[in-house]
Structure 1
Amino acid sequence: MTTHTLTNPKDNGKSSSGHRVSVLVPLPFPGPLDYLSHEALSPGELVAVPLGKREVVGCVWEATTHLPPDFQRPVGKTVPLSRLRTIGHKLEVQPLPPSLRHFIDWVAAYTLTPPGLVLAMAMRVHLGDTPKPALGWVRTQKPEEKIRITPSRRAVLDAASHIPMTTSDLAEASSTSSAVVRGLATAGLLEQVVISASSPFHPPNPDYGTPRLSEEQEEVSKKLTNLVEAHHFDVLLLEGVTGSGKTEVYFEAIAACLRQQKQVLVLLPEIALSTQWTDRFARRFGVEPAIWHSDLGAKRRRETWHAVAKGEAQVVVGARSALFLPFETLGLIIVDEEHESAFKQEEGVMYHGRDMAIVRGRLVNAPVILVSATPSLETLANVESGRYQHELLTSRHGGATMPSVSLVDMKENSPERGFFLSPKLCTAIDETLANGEQAMLFLNRRGYAPLTLCRACGYRAQCPNCSAWLVEHRARGVLTCHHCGHIERIPKECPQCHAENSLVPIGPGIERITEEAKQRFLDAKILVMSSDTLASPSATAEAIRQIADEEVNLIIGTQIVAKGWHFPKLTLVGVVDADLGLGGGDLRAAERTVQLLHQVAGRAGRAAHAGQVYLQSYVGEHPVMKALIANDFQSFMEQEAAQRRPSFWPPYGRLAALIISAATAEAADALAKEIALYAPEREGVQILGPAPAPLAVLRGRHRRRLLLRTMRGIAVQPILRDWLKDIKVKGTTKIEIDIDPISFL
C-alpha cells in the first residue's frame, strides 16, 4: 500500500535515525501519511501527530489484503526520513484491532471515501490517553506515639481502613477537612493507593431468565444456536410475522455466543427502539446491555468505547455507527428490522449499515442474523440465490392472531369538509375506547400541515434554502423546513399580496390530526408520538410507560410507532393516509409503503384481544392495498421482483449516484455536463442524466444528479474511479458518490 508523506523542513525531528511509520489520520487524505518515530510502533496503536500547526490523533496503519482486488491507493512520493515530521507520543489506550482496521479500509474502498473519514467514525470519542486511575488513602501500620493526634486527626484515622477512600470521601466521613487528611499522609499514617475501578457494564448471564418458547420458536432457536456454535461466517434471515417473538428467538443465539466468551453486536434502526428492547434484554440476561448512539454523553461514550475494546462490554446494542466500535472478540452480529432505510447513512460516508454489518461479520468470521417481518427485496434475493439461510416464524406468540385489515374507501366514506378521519374509522375508535382498549392513529407526516397557501393570490410558503415547502408547526407558531432546519414565524399576512388572514393550511400533519381527535373523541386520553415530542430516549421510555400502564388510550404517531413495540391493550390501528409515500417515482416507493404499513398494522392485537386495522385510501386497487388487505407480503414482493428483474434494477442490477452540488445553478450544470461528456460506454452499463435532483436546491446549494446502472455482475467502483479520474472540481463545487442509493432526492 502506497502512503503519502507530510514534511516540514522546520520540524525539530530532523534526525535520519528512526522508523518510517504510516499513520492514518481522521481527515480526507487519500491514504496514510508518513511520519518519523524513534520507537517501534505496531499497527493499530493510536498516536498524536503534528499536522500543520495543530496536533491530531491518528492510527498506525499497514497494508491490508482485505481491499477489493481492483483497488489501488494513489501513488505518493517516498521522502527521506530526515524530512519527515516526528510522531508526538503514543496514547495509552487499546490499539484498534486488525479486524476494525481492515473494515475501515474495506468501507472506504467500497464507498469511494477517503479512509481517514471512515476512521473518524471509529474515533468519534475524545480518546486522549487512558484516564489516570483514581487514588485513595488507606491506614498504614506506622505507630502513633510520636505524632500529635488532634480530635480531627483521630476522626480521620477512625474512618480510614484498608479499603481506599478518596480525599473528599475521607474528609466527609470524618467531618474534617482535606488538609487534615493530607497532614496525616505527610506524617506517614495514611498511604495513597490506586482505587480499583469496576466496569460500568456487568456481564450478562446467558442462563438468567430462560424463556418458555413455543415448539416453532424452539426449533428455529436451535438452528440459530447451531449457526453461532459453528464458528464461521454465514448470513441467516430470521423472518417472522409481527408478534411472533423473533427477539426472544435470537436472544438464544446471543446466549450461545456469551457462553463462548465472545462479544455480540445488535443493530437497531432507531434509538427509540432501545428503550423497550433493553427492558426485554434485562429480563432475559439479568443486566442491561451497553448502548451506543449519538445522544450518549461524552463520558458515557468514552466508557463504552474503552469497555468494548477491553472486552468488558459483552453485548452492545446501537445504531449503525456501532459497527465502528473496536470489538476484540466479536462473535455475532444481529441486524434487527433489517429492511429499514434508517440503516443507510446519506451524508458524509454514505454506507448501508445492514450491508456493512455483513462485511464486518465476514472479516471476523462471525455469523450475521438479519431480522424482519417484512424483509427487503435485496435480502430476499440473496435468500433466493442461496447466499443466505432462511428461517421463518409463521404464527404469533401466545396464541394471538393476526389483525384483520379493512380498506376505507375515502371516495365513498369521506369525512366532513376540513376533517381527515372518516366516519367509519371514527365509529371503530369509539367502540374500541368504550371497550376499555387502546387505539392508534398513524400518519407519517410531522407538523400541522405540509403546505401553507394564500387563498387570495396562490402564494406558497417555500424554504429560502431548499426546493421544499415549509411545514407549519402550529404548536410552536412557526413554519420550518425539514431538510435544512430553516425556521420563521407564521406570518399574519401574505408575504406576496399582503392580504390579512389569507394563509390556510393544506393537507394534514400529525398536529392537525391530534386537533381533530381532541374535538371528535372528547373523553380520549391522547398521547402524541413523533420525533418532535419524543426528543430523547428518556422521553420515549416515559411514553411507553404511559401506554403500558393504560394512562392513555389513543396514541397518535408518525413512523416511530411502526417500530417493534408491544402494547398488549392496543387493538385498533387507523392509517390516516395509506397512500402517502406511493407517489414521486421512487424505485422503492411501493416496497417501503407496504413494509411501513404492514409494520404499523402489526401493532394491533398482539395479546388476548383480536386486532383491527383500517386503511384510509383513495387508491384501493393499488397492489400495496391489496397485499395489506390479504396479508400477503410474499406475493407482493414476488411481483416487485418480477418488475425489477428484466431491467436490472436493484437487487438484480447495481446503482451508483453522482450528486453534483454548487453555489450556483450555472456551476452545477457546467460540472454535470463535463462529467456526462466522459461517461463510460460499455455493454451492461447505462448512464442516466444529468438532471436536476428532485430537491434541486438543498441548504442553499444547487444539485444535479447522474445515475450509473450496471448489470449485477459488473462492479461500479472501478468504473467510477476511471470515469472521474480526470475531472477537476473547482472552488466550492462538490461531487458526492452514493453507492447503492436508497433515496433519490
Structure 2
Amino acid sequence: MAVAPPPPHAHDPDMPSPAAQARRVPVLLPMPFAGAFDYKAPADMRLRAGDIVSVPLGNRRQTGVVWDSQSALPPDLAQPAPNKTVADNRLRAVAERLDLPPLNAELRHFVDWVAAYTLSPPGMVLAMTLRLHMKGSAPAPATGWMVQSPAPTTLRMTPARQSVLALMADGTTRTTTDIASAAGVSAGVVKGLADAGALRPVLLEPARPFAQPDPLHHPPTLEGAQEDAAAALRQSVREKKFSVTLLEGVTGSGKTEIYLEAIAACLEQGQQALVLLPEIALSAQWMERFTRRFGVRPAVWHSEIGQKARRQTWLGAADGSVTVVVGARSALFLPFCNPGLIIVDEEHESLFKQEEGVIYNARDMAVVRGRLAGFPVVVVSATPSLETLANAQAGRYQRLVLPTRHGGASLPQTHLLDMRDAPPERGMFLSPKLVKDIAATLGREEQAMLFLNRRGYAPLTLCRTCGHRMECPHCTAWLVEHRNRQVLSCHYCDHTEPMPPVCPSCKTEHSLTAIGPGIERITEEARQLFPDARILVMSSDTLGGPAATAEAVAKIARREVDLIIGTQIVAKGWHFPHLTLVGIVDADLGLGGADLRAGERTIQLLHQVAGRAGRASAPGRVVLQSYTPEHPVMQALLSGDFDQFMEQEAEQRRPGFWPPYGRLAALIISADTPQAADEAAARFGRTAPYGEGIQVLGPAPAPLALLRGRHRRRLLLRTWRNIAVQPILHRWLGLVQLDRHMRVEVDIDPVSFL
C-alpha cells in the first residue's frame, strides 16, 4: 500500500470551524450515511469541530461528532459528496454538547482517510471509536469530606461521632465509605455529621484507574544485535517524526524485549504508545513480560473487556492518563491525545484484516495513522509478509534483523517425514516414527507438542452407503463433527445440529463416518498411544478466554503438562522453555486451492509453530508429516531459508503485477437467490473498467458461493501499482443500480479470497 502523503488538516482543532462560526454545523453520525448532516447550533452553544454532541434524528436522539466542513483528503481518495443542501429554516438544532473530550483533528482526519481508502461510509468508521462505549457523559467527580472548623456550637457528640472526628483530624479528605470503614461506624453517622455542619463536602479528583508504567523499573540486559536494534528504535522514537521500521528476528530472538525499549523511550517523552496484537485474548505471557519490565499492567482493549473498562480506557486515551494500550485491531481507533508510537506485533497475521463491516487491514492503517500524526510505527515478525519485505527492500521501511536466539539457545532441527514411506497405521494419523519421537521425548521428562490447524473431530462426515455428505444448509461448507458435544457445526455461520442417527439421504442407520482428522481426533489417538501422559488441548473450543489461556500457559510452565495438542493458537509467540519436540500432523494443510498467498501463509504458520521448540538450553526438534515433501514450502522449512522462499514468491508475483507489485480490489456481490446474484454480477461485468494497467477478472462464483444464506459472486480488479483503485471503483459502482435485496461489498487489498 502506497498513497501520496495527505496535506495538513484543514482546521485547527482549537479554533471554531467555519461551519461553527456560520451557526451551521456538519455532524457526522456513527451510522452508514454517505456523509455528515447539517444542524443548527443554538445561539448559546459554541461548537467546534470534534465536539461530541447529541442531535435529533427522526424521533430519537443520536450521538455524533461536529465534523469538518472541508475535506483534507488527496484527490485520488476524495469521495463524491452528496449534492444536497437543506435550507437554513429547515435545519434542526443540536440538542446538547456532551461533557466528553472532543475528537482531535488527527483522529478525524484518520477516520476520513480510512473511510475514503476502504470506500466505507465515514460514519461506520466513526462508529469504531464512538458507538458502544460512549453512552452518556463523563462520570461526575466523587464527593469527599473534611472537618469544618470551627465545629458548630450546637453539635451533639456521641462516641461514634468522636471516632469520626478523631480520624478526620489529620486533614485528609475521605469518602463516606472510607470514613465509615476506618472509624468503624455506619455511613449514617457520617451523614449525620455532614447534616449537622461538622463535615464539609469537597470534590475529589477522579480516581485514575490505570497505574503509570515506569520506564526505569526493570530495564533488560541487551547485547550485540539486540542492543543495536533497541538503540535504533529508541532513536526513531526520540526523533518524533514518521517512520516505519521492520523488526525481524528468528523465533526466540527477543523481539518483544527490544520493542519494549521503544515503548520506554516513548514514555520518557511523555507520549502514548499502542501495541497491536493479532489475538489479544491470548496474550497472557506478553502481559507478564510487560509487567516485569514496567512494574504495572498496561490498559487493555479487546472485545471481551466490560463496558466500564472500555469507557475508562477510551477516556484515559483522550485525556492522557492512559499511556500504554495493548489491544486488538479496533484499538487503532482510540482517541489518543499525544500518540508517539505504534507497535504491530506479528504483522504478517491475517487476523489484522477485518473482513466484515468496514473492511480494513489494521497493520496498514497503523502506518497511515503514524504518517498523519507524525510518529514512528514498528512492525514486528519472525516471518514478515511479502508486502512488508517489499517496502523494506524499496527503502520505504527501515529493517532491523536479529539472526540468532537470545541467551545462546539454538534454532530447532527440522525433519521432513514422507508419509508415503512411513504411513500411519490404518485408522490413525500419526506416523510410527513421530510416535517414537514423542515417546522418547516424554521419557526424558521433556514436553512435546502436536499441531493441527483444524478444529473439531473431523472436517467431513459422509454416509458409507450412499456417499451423502453432511453440508451446512446456509453455506458452501461441510459440517464439522465436534464429538465432545455430539454435534455437527458450520465454522462460517452459527448453524449447529445434533449428529443424526441415520443418513438424511438414504435413511441407513449407523452409516455416517468421520473423514479426516481434527484436533479432537488427534487427541483421542494420543490418549490411546500415551495413556500416562498429561495432555492439554489448546484451541478456541477449549480455551474460553484470557483467564483460561493464562491458566493453561501457567500449567505448561509449571511442567504439569507432558503433551500439548493445539491449533493455530499455539503459534502465537509462546515461550515454553521445556518444550523440545514439535510434531506437525498435516504440514500440507493450507497449500491447496487457488489462494494467492497459500504458500506464504503456510510457511509463516509452520515456521511460527516450529519456533516453539528448543527455546531454552535443551535443543529442539521439529517433525513435519507431509505427503508432498518436495513442495517448495517443505523444502524451505527443511533448509530454514525463509528469505529465499520469499524471494521466489516475489519473482512469481512480479510479472503479473500481483500484490505487492500491483493493486487488488474485490467486489463481492450477494443476493437471496443464485439467479439474482448472477444477474447483478453480470451487470458489473458488462460495465467493468478497462485500460492500460487495468484488468478485471470475473465475474465468477466465490469459493464460498453460499454464505449465511446469501449467494455470492466475485469480481477482482487488478491494476499496476501506480494506479489508484478508488477513483476507478467510484466510477464503476456508480454505473450499476442494484435492487434492494442485492448487496455489493468492496474489499481493498484483499487478504482472503473466500
TM (norm. structure 1) is 0.96
Contact preservation (8 Å) 2:34, 2:82: no
Contact preservation (8 Å) 1:468, 1:695: yes
Does 1:138 find its partner at 2:152? no
> SS of 2:205's equivalent?
coil
Select 2:157's aligned residue among 149, 157, 161. Answer: 149
Counterpart in the other structure of 1:369:
378
Q: Residues 283 and 505 of structure 1: is their aligned pair in 2 closer, same or farther, counting only changes over 3 Å?
A: same
One-letter code aligned to 2:90: R
Segment drifting more, 132-141 vs 529-538: 132-141
CA distance in 1, matches of 2:53, 2:82: 24
Contact preservation (8 Å) 1:272, 1:560: no
Does 1:86 find its partner at 2:59? no
Select 2:172's aligned residue among 154, 160, 163. Answer: 163
CA distance in 2, matches of 1:277, 1:607: 18
Instruction: For residue 181 of structure 1, report the CA deviation from its aligned partner.
Output: 3.1
The equivalences for 1:587-626 within 5 A come to 587-626=596-635
> SS of 1:538's equivalent?
helix
Select 1:104's aligned residue among 108, 111, 118. Answer: 111
Does 1:55 find its partner at 2:64? no
Does 1:394 find its partner at 2:398? no
> SS of 1:491's equivalent?
coil
One-letter code aligned to 1:132: A
Counterpart in the other structure of 2:278:
269
CA distance in 2, matches of 1:537, 1:126: 21
Counterpart in the other structure of 2:536:
527
Counterpart in the other structure of 2:11:
none
Does 1:740 find its partner at 2:746? no
CA distance in 2, matches of 1:584, 1:124: 39
Deviations 1:279-327 (A, max 9, x none): 1111111111111111111000001111111111111111111110001
Counterpart in the other structure of 2:13:
none
One-letter code aligned to 1:102: H
Segment drifting more, 226-235 vs 428-437: 226-235
Instruction: For residue 169 of structure 1, report the CA deviation from its aligned partner.
Output: 4.4
Does 1:333 find its partner at 2:339? no
Instruction: For residue 214 of structure 1, report the CA deviation from its aligned partner.
Output: 2.0
Q: Residues 552 and 187 of structure 1: is their aligned pair in 2 closer, same or farther, counting only changes over 3 Å?
A: same
Q: Please, what is the CA RMSD of the aligned residues?
A: 1.6
One-letter code aligned to 2:81: P
CA distance in 2, matches of 1:87, 1:52: 13
Q: Residues 258 and 153 of structure 1: is their aligned pair in 2 closer, same or farther, counting only changes over 3 Å?
A: closer
CA distance in 1, matches of 2:629, 2:70: 55
Instruction: For residue 732 of structure 1, report the CA deviation from its aligned partner.
Output: 2.2
CA distance in 2, matches of 1:256, 1:156: 47
Q: Residues 400 and 729 of structure 1: is their aligned pair in 2 closer, same or farther, counting only changes over 3 Å?
A: same
Counterpart in the other structure of 1:26:
30
Counterpart in the other structure of 1:548:
557
CA distance in 2, matches of 1:539, 1:66: 46
One-letter code aligned to 1:61: W
Select 2:195's aligned residue among 176, 186, 190. Answer: 186
Deviations 1:546-585 (A, max 9, x none): 0111110110000000111111101000000000000011
Q: Residues 224 and 152 of structure 1: is their aligned pair in 2 closer, same or farther, counting only changes over 3 Å?
A: closer
Instruction: For residue 137 of structure 1, report the CA deviation from its aligned partner.
Output: 2.8
One-letter code aligned to 1:593: T
Contact preservation (8 Å) 1:263, 1:313: yes
The equivalences for 1:570-589 within 5 A come to 570-589=579-598
TM (norm. structure 2) is 0.95
Deviations 1:348-401 (A, max 9, x none): 000001100000000111111111110000011111111111111011111111
Q: Residues 227 and 495 of structure 1: is their aligned pair in 2 closer, same or farther, counting only changes over 3 Å?
A: same
Counterpart in the other structure of 2:463:
454
Contact preservation (8 Å) 1:30, 1:73: no
Select 1:716's aligned residue among 711, 725, 739. Answer: 725
Contact preservation (8 Å) 1:214, 1:397: no
Deviations 1:39-89 (A, max 9, x none): 221111100111111111101111455413231442333323221111111
Contact preservation (8 Å) 1:468, 1:481: yes
> SS of 1:218's equivalent?
helix
Counterpart in the other structure of 1:117:
124
Instruction: For residue 139 of structure 1, report the CA deviation from its aligned partner.
Output: 2.4
One-letter code aligned to 1:143: A
Select 2:40's aligned residue among 27, 30, 36. Answer: 36
Counterpart in the other structure of 2:369:
360
Q: Residues 411 and 52 of structure 1: is their aligned pair in 2 closer, same or farther, counting only changes over 3 Å?
A: same
Q: Residues 209 and 487 of structure 1: is their aligned pair in 2 closer, same or farther, counting only changes over 3 Å?
A: same
CA distance in 2, matches of 1:173, 1:245: 47
> SS of 1:472's equivalent?
strand
CA distance in 2, matches of 1:419, 1:514: 11
Counterpart in the other structure of 1:690:
699
Instruction: For residue 124 of structure 1, report the CA deviation from its aligned partner.
Output: 3.8
CA distance in 1, matches of 2:177, 2:373: 46
Q: Residues 252 and 725 of structure 1: is their aligned pair in 2 closer, same or farther, counting only changes over 3 Å?
A: same
One-letter code aligned to 2:318: A
CA distance in 2, matches of 1:211, 1:184: 54
> SS of 2:478's equivalent?
coil
Does 1:129 find its partner at 2:133? no
CA distance in 2, matches of 1:399, 1:248: 16
One-letter code aligned to 1:635: Q
CA distance in 1, matches of 2:21, 2:106: 31
Deviations 1:109-156 (A, max 9, x none): 000000000000011443221111112333222435423334554454
One-letter code aligned to 2:130: M
Instruction: For residue 192 of structure 1, report the CA deviation from its aligned partner.
Output: 1.9
> SS of 1:686's equivalent?
strand
Counterpart in the other structure of 1:649:
658
One-letter code aligned to 1:309: A
Counterpart in the other structure of 2:318:
309
Deviations 1:387-421 (A, max 9, x none): 11111101111111110000111111111111101
CA distance in 1, matches of 2:537, 2:36: 49
CA distance in 1, matches of 2:299, 2:614: 31
Instruction: For residue 627 of structure 1, report the CA deviation from its aligned partner.
Output: 0.1
One-letter code aligned to 2:51: E
Contact preservation (8 Å) 2:272, 2:324: yes
> SS of 1:574's equivalent?
strand
Segment drifting more, 614-623 vs 255-264: 255-264
One-letter code aligned to 1:22: P
Does 1:566 find its partner at 2:572? no
CA distance in 2, matches of 1:349, 1:154: 62
Counterpart in the other structure of 1:421:
430
Select 1:633's aligned residue among 627, 642, 650. Answer: 642
> SS of 1:528's equivalent?
strand
CA distance in 2, matches of 1:646, 1:95: 48
Segment drifting more, 248-257 vs 155-164: 155-164
One-letter code aligned to 2:421: E
One-letter code aligned to 2:99: E
Deviations 1:578-615 (A, max 9, x none): 00000011000000000000000000001101100000
Q: Residues 412 and 72 of structure 1: is their aligned pair in 2 closer, same or farther, counting only changes over 3 Å?
A: closer
CA distance in 2, matches of 1:313, 1:172: 30
Counterpart in the other structure of 1:3:
none
Does 1:68 find its partner at 2:74? yes
Counterpart in the other structure of 1:12:
none
> SS of 1:628's equivalent?
helix
Deviations 1:251-302 (A, max 9, x none): 1111111111111111111124421111111111111111111111100000
One-letter code aligned to 1:43: A
